[in-house]
Each structure stands twice: as C-alpha cells, then as structure tokens.
Amino acid sequence: MLCFTHVPPLPLFSTSGIYLPASRRFTSFRTRMSSSSSVDSVPPPPDNAIVLGCGGIAVDFLATVDSYPQPDDKIRSTSLKVQGGGNAANALTCASRLGLNSRLISKVANDSQGKGMLEELEADGVDTSFLVVSKEGNSPFTYIIVDNQTKTRTCIHTPGDPPMLPTELSQSSMFSALDRASIVYFDVRLHETALMIAKEASRKKIPILVDTEKKRDGLDELLQFADYVVCSAKFPQTWTEVSSTPGALVSMLLRLPKLKFVIVTLGEEGCLMVQRASTEVFESQEIDIESLLETLKHRKDSTTTFPTCVSSETTKLKANGVGTVTGRLFLGTAEKIPPVELVDTTGAGDAFIGAVLYAICAGMPPEKMLPFAAQVAGCSCRAMGARTGLPHRADPRLVPFLV
C-alpha cells in the first residue's frame, strides 16, 4: 500500500520564485507513482459557484483564407465554420465547461440564428432563461476572416436589431439572475442594461469583473463598480493616456479605488497584472514599476513551453508622472504553441476571461490563476472558432494547473 506521508513535500515555486505547475512539481514523483494516483485526479469545482454574465452574443461565420485579401481581390476560402460567438457568450461557455454554473443576460431575435445560439449555449450548460428573445428583427452576427499565413483574424460585426433596452429585463428577472451569484461579468456591450445590473450587484456586494476590450459607451460608469478588470493589450494606455503599459496599470488602480486587480493580456507575450495590497506597507520603499518589470523578465523561465508566472513582493509601485500604489506586479507567460498546432486565435481573450472567472470563484492565488488562464486560452487556439477548442475541466492539459 502506498503511503503518501513518506513523500517529501514538493515546492510550488522554483528557487528563482517562478510558479511551477503540477506538471513540473510532480515530474519525478510521477515516475514512482501510477497514473491513476490521487495526485492526478481533478479536484471538484467550487461548490455552487454561479457566474452571471451580461453582454455580447452572436453567430460567427469563420472563413479561413490563405492570406488576407488586397482591395478589390476575389479569393476563395479554404474552410468555413458557423458557430456561436460573442464575448460574453464565449466566456460563459468556457466557465461552464470548467465547472461553473453560468447564466447569461443578452438578446437575440426569434430567427434561425437566434434559436441556434440558444441551443448551442444550453448544450454547454449555460442558463439562457434570462435572455430576451425579440419577435422581430435579426440576431447579431459576425464575419470573421482567419488569415492562415499570419494566424490573425479580422472581425466584421453586425449588431442585433432591435437593440436591447434596460426595460426589457424586468426587475424580478434581474433579481433572479443575481440570486446566489458568486461573481458578475460584463463585456461592456448592452451598457445601459449592464449598468442597471452592476448597481444592484454592488448593492448586494457581489464582485464584478469587467472586460475592457476597447472604449465603449458606458464604460467609464461601469468601471466605477469593478472589482476586477481584464484589458486587451492597447486599452490601458488608450484609456489612461499614460505612455507605458505598467504605468497605465498603476493609473487605473489609482483612478478606480474599488479595483482589486487589473490584468492586461498581451497575446503570445503573456500578460501583466497589478494587484492592490489589502493593507498599506509603511516600511516598504518605492520601486519604479518599469525597472521592476525588467527584473521579472530576467527571472522568467524562457525555456519552458507551458505558461508560468513570476511576481514581486508587496511593495510601493511607482509610475513616474502617475503616482504610487501599494501592491504586487505579476508577469505571466503564454503557452508556446507549435506553429503547426496554432489554428485560430478567435476568442482566446474570452477563454482567458472564462478561466479567470473560474479562478476567482475557486480562490486561486494569482501565481496559479495566470498560468491556468493562459493554458485555457492556449487550448482554444488549437481549433477553428472561439468555442471549438475550449477545454473541459477534465482535459489532461488542464489537470496539472488544477491540482
């Protein structure tokens, strides 16, 4: 009989302070143990964790081309896929596959596309009972051109019509949607409805995560309620008008006093995160955040293909010309996907957010959350469309990041 008490403890971090996923921590251990060992089992998802999302839903028409067309070109696609899309719908599909109970507030029309979207979400376990279905009009859809040469995608979106009005979500439906919710997520579409929900969620002290892909109507008001923000690469500098990304993250924390952390995703370069300290560190000296980032870059392990994370101690993070915030800086790396396996980056950011929602509900520390979210996003890039490659929680590629 195997006795686990005699196995020496294995570190979460390397000697250089890099977070090690279980795939690295248990490498030697697994050579001595059966693959059916409990160390390889997937832990259960957070008990009764519910995520409520409000935002975009669409049908995606994905056409793969050898290379992006020039003006007035006539080209042929090499493949075509029709699939559900939309930021909020994608992120909640991801969260549902990871084990959360997901609810979506959005609007579709009573057309074939709308019906197909609802069926697809329901098949993935997303609660669609709070969606508004219009008797007339059209459901939202997006044409997506996937460039096989550069591995990039171009999106051409057509909004649904008529647009959703806050009055279409009754107060009783909103209260039911928020009932026992662990976290609320907004992609800043349907901003008037989102703001109404955010006010009630804040009153009920339900944490709020906002996805800031770009400037949108109602964004500034919605950010005032945010506990967590996940940004696209260009957003922090655009919104704050600060010249550097690290400085812009400090600016966001100073301008949004409720914010606990802000993450900026950087594609194949990984991500940056600044987490506000829960208590002030009076004896800590100020450290320039730009210099600190360079230090972290030298500490990261560039030899590994899987996502990792390096972080600073809690300190006073100074951004020249911006100010100082007490907290920690995290540098997360992305998975190094072999070119032959990289298919489509559509929805990778939504996958990352879905994983962050799961991590928050599961109480993951940032050192574990960022590599996990990067791994989920990496999985999604190995198939066409935003949802085809989204992994389930028992996926062997995720197990090392969950144990």
pLDDT digits (tens, 9 = 90+) for 33-48: 333 333 457 788 998 9
pLDDT digits (tens, 9 = 90+) for 133-190: 999 999 999 999 999 898 888 999 999 999 999 999 999 999 999 999 999 999 999 9
Quickly list DSSP for 183-228. EEEE-SSSHHHHHHHHHHHHHTT--EEEEESS--TTHHHHHTT-SE
Q: Cβ(155)–Cβ(329) under 8 Å?
A: no
Q: What is the pTM of this model?
A: 0.88
pLDDT digits (tens, 9 = 90+) for 329-357: 999 999 999 999 999 999 999 999 999 99
Task: Please state, in angstroms and rounded to a whole number, the distance separating the CA atoms of residues 110 and 96.
Answer: 24
Q: Cβ(302)–Cβ(268) under 8 Å?
A: no
pLDDT digits (tens, 9 = 90+) for 358-383: 999 999 999 999 999 999 999 999 99
